[in-house]
Every structure is written in structure tokens, then in C-alpha cells.
Amino acid sequence: MSKIKISAVSYTNTKPFIYGIEHSELRSKIDLSLDIPTDCAAKLISNQVDIGLIPVAAIPMVPNANIVADYCIGSVGAVNSVFVFSQVPFGEIRTVRLDSHSRTSNNLAKVLLKFHWKQEVSYTTDPDAKTEAIVLIGDRTFGKKADYPYAYDMGEEWMKFTGLPFVYAAWVANKTIPEAFITEFNEALSFGLSHRKELLKDLPAIADFDLDDYLMHKLDFELTDKKREALKLFLSYIEQL
């Protein structure tokens, strides 16, 4: 059987999954690439890979999309790596620079600004644009909260708005994947999650950022029914933007 091609996110939040894959027999059965979230989605949409850990906002664009794992990148409240950083309170935000790395976080910011904070906002992707606020995600946010007068954790704001957890990225396939592989895949992901303490020993310390708290408490990896409900609600809000 030919190897199943998988694209995963290269951020710290995915390291438990990668740890599990690297420590399983699954590793010899797959071709694994590590990419930024938008590239994970692009590869899956264009059929360059069979499974991708993709931003959930991209799911409607994937042909034959189906979620193939019991795990995700999620949070129940604050996640501490998906932010709107701002020079002004949310009620005064008029311009926002979006993050080129993730469609989900950009759309989440738009949903929160429009439906939660009731703001009419202009958006730009120009990296040199001067704006009141920016969207920033992933490892590039570590230790950055003190650099801005206002730091709005979008996982926390989504929960204030909806009362639900959030799913930032899910393992999605663009074709039918054999059940035996899915079972083995879930076992590998579960193994990685249960060995986060060992993984943390190998990760370098980051100034002004608690990696232990992030991987053990802020991130929530189970794809629960509540997270599926939140995903459906989020995608419905995107359609109204």
C-alpha cells in the first residue's frame, strides 16, 4: 500500500501529536510534512496530501472533507496563543491587520468583532500597514502579551460570546481513509498526548511564557461533542460575514 501523505502544523501546539506519531509504527506508513496552517490547508485542498491538520475555517473548501481523528487543536476558554493584540480597547478598534498563517484565526477575529463586540472594522493583509490591532497566532505570540496595551485571547472571548469551547484545527481527510489506519492514527495521537510531560523536558524554555501550562492546561485536544457544536456554530457565523 502506498504511504498516506499527512501535513501537520509546525507550531508547538502540535508537538504532542508529532511525538506520538514519531514514537509509533505509523511513522513508517506515512509521508509527513510540517507546514504553517494555511499551507496545510492548501496541500489538502489541492490533493497534495491525504490528511491535514488544517484550520477549521478551511474545511468547507476541502473536497470530500471528513474529520478522521478524535483529537484536535482546541481550548476551553483561553488558549494563550491566538490573539487580537491592540493599541486600543476593543470598542475603539477600527482597523485590523490579519495574520497570513491562519484562515481560522482571521475569521474568528472577524466573527468576534462583528457579532460579539459589534464593531465595524476594516481589515488588511499588508504587513506594513499601520492599524490599531493585529491578529497573531501560534509560537509568534509567546511572550508578546506585555508588548501591547491590550491582548484579547480569542479562545476566551469566544467562550464569553457563546459559552462553548473552540476548535482551531482538526485532522481532516479529502478521501476515505481505511478504518484500520484511523484506529492506529488515533492511538498514536493519544500516546503523544499522554507523554506531554516527557516532551516538555525536551523543549527549550521560552522567556515570559509557561510551556507546561500551555501544553497541559490551555490547549484542550479532545474533539468533544461540545467542540463539534462550536465548530458548526463558527462555520455558520463565517457564512454571515
The string of pLDDT tens digits covering residues 183-197 is: 999 999 999 999 999
CA pair distance 212, 31, nearest whole angstrom: 29
Summarised one tens digit per residue, pLDDT across range 46-103 is 999 999 999 999 999 999 999 999 999 999 999 999 999 999 999 999 999 999 888 9
Q: Are residues 69 and 8 in the same domain?
A: yes
Residue at 235 is within a domain: no
Alpha carbon 122 to chain centroid distance? 24
Cell of 2: 502506498
34 and 140 fall within a common domain? no
Alpha helices in the chain (DSSP H): 15-22, 37-45, 103-111, 154-162, 179-194, 196-202, 211-213, 225-239
Q: Are residues 37 and 138 in the same domain?
A: no
From CA 175, how far away is CA 66, in angstroms rounded?
Answer: 8
Same domain, residue pair 86 and 150: yes
**pLDDT confidence band for 21 (50 / 70 / 90):** very high
Please indicate, yes or no, whether residues 89 and 203 belong to a single structural domain of this protein: no
The grid coordinates listed for 155 are 479562545
Range of the domain at 72: 4-76+165-224
The residues pairing with 153 across neighbouring beta strands, listed in sequence order, are: 83
